[in-house]
């Protein structure tokens, strides 16, 4: 049966009831939770439907980079969202990161959680979590967005500099991830002044020199989610690329 596995003692129906979501599919392993969630969303799955796998055989991050997703090593899940407007879809990855950092902070304490534009959560100096959004658009409006999140519960063998919530209970981490994704997806419009201020508190880049996506000093976020960099020619806003420090 699709999604018929259990995870930490609960099957999909049990997790759906515990989290208050329409449905949860639980797998021992999948190629990618995002791929399965995409198929469900395309077939009309309700907002808040969740796909969880104990392992991913082909987990990925931005630009198709591999994401280590070994059994028992993390929370690997995807949530179906249907943003109410294009502006909300454009900043959803940032909103998820912001909500995720706030939700996971008590589980990481006393290690501080910070954010790296556009989609990473750090614990101390190590990457703790990544976010991968994959949207489908129709006539300029998002028909659905799959919010994929991976959170390390132990440091991957091939990424010793990463971070992990190795003392946190996996069910608590999973619940925090799902609630953060759903809370972010319910918010309409561009980033509010309050959201931008909250991001600034956790921003790893603000005030630092960068070489990509532009050369200069990071000032902060624009309302549309762009990274603002003050360079030799003045202030520029970037909406794509990877952040690299000088």
pLDDT values of the chain reduced to their tens digit, one per residue, 246 residues: 367 899 999 999 999 999 999 999 999 999 999 999 999 999 999 999 999 999 999 766 665 666 668 999 999 999 999 988 889 999 999 999 999 999 999 999 999 999 999 999 999 999 999 999 998 887 777 789 999 999 999 999 888 999 999 999 999 999 999 999 999 999 999 999 999 999 999 999 999 999 999 999 999 999 999 999 999 999 999 999 999 999
- The four Cα atoms 173, 174, 175, 179 give a dihedral, to 10 degrees, of 100
Taking the C-alpha atoms of residue 167 and residue 187, their distance in angstroms, rounded to an integer, is 31
pLDDT tens, position by position, 99-129: 999 999 999 999 999 999 999 999 999 999 9
Predicted pLDDT at 101: 98
Please, what's the b/e burial string for 124-159 (b: 16 or more CB within 10 A of its CB; e: otherwise)? eeebbbbbbbbbeeeeeebebbbbbbbbbbebbeee
Predicted pLDDT at 1: 39
> What six digits make up the tokens of 170?
């996996």
The CA-atom distances, in angstroms, between 84 and each of 18, 81, 117, 189, 232 are 26, 9, 23, 8, 38
Among candidate residues 58, 75, 82, 61, the one with its CA nearest the CA of residue 146: 82
Predicted pLDDT at 143: 84
Predicted pLDDT at 2: 61
Q: Would you say the pTM of this structure is higher than 0.85?
A: yes
Partners of 152 in the β-ladder: 74
Predicted pLDDT at 69: 84
> What six digits make up the tokens of 115?
């954010």
Domains in the chain: ranges and CATH: 12-193 (3.30.930.10), 205-245 (no CATH)
The CA-atom distances, in angstroms, between 41 and each of 82, 101, 126, 148 are 9, 26, 33, 13
Can you point out the beta strands (E) in 153-215? 209-212
The CA-atom distances, in angstroms, between 213 and each of 44, 81, 236, 237, 242 are 37, 28, 10, 9, 6
Predicted pLDDT at 62: 61
Predicted pLDDT at 68: 67
Predicted pLDDT at 94: 97
Q: Are 59 and 131 in contact (CB under 8 A)?
A: no
Taking the C-alpha atoms of residue 103 and residue 121, their distance in angstroms, rounded to an integer, is 11
């Amino acid at each position: 049966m699709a999604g018929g596995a259990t995870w930490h003692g609960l099957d999909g129906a049990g997790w759906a009831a515990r989290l208050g979501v329409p449905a949860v599919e639980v797998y021992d392993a999948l190629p990618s939770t995002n791929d399965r969630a995409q198929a469900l969303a395309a077939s009309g799955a309700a907002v808040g439907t969740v796909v969880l796998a104990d392992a991913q055989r082909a987990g990925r991050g931005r630009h198709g980079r591999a994401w280590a997703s070994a059994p028992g090593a993390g929370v690997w899940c995807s949530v179906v969202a249907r943003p109410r407007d294009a502006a909300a879809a454009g900043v959803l990855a940032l909103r998820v990161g912001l909500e995720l950092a706030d939700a996971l902070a008590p589980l990481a304490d006393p290690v501080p959680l910070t954010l790296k534009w556009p989609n990473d959560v750090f614990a101390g100096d190590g990457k703790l979590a990544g976010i991968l959004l994959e949207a489908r658009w129709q006539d300029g409006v998002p028909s659905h967005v799959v919010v994929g999140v991976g959170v390390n519960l132990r440091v991957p063998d091939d990424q010793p500099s990463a971070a992990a919530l190795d003392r946190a209970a996996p069910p608590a981490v999973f619940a925090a991830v799902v609630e953060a994704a759903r809370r972010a997806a319910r918010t309409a419009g561009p980033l509010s002044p309050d959201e931008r201020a909250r991001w600034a508190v956790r921003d790893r880049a603000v005030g630092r020199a960068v070489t990509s996506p532009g050369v200069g000093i990071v000032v902060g976020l624009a309302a549309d989610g762009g990274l603002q960099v003050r360079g030799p020619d003045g202030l520029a806003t970037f909406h794509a690329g990877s952040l690299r420090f000088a």
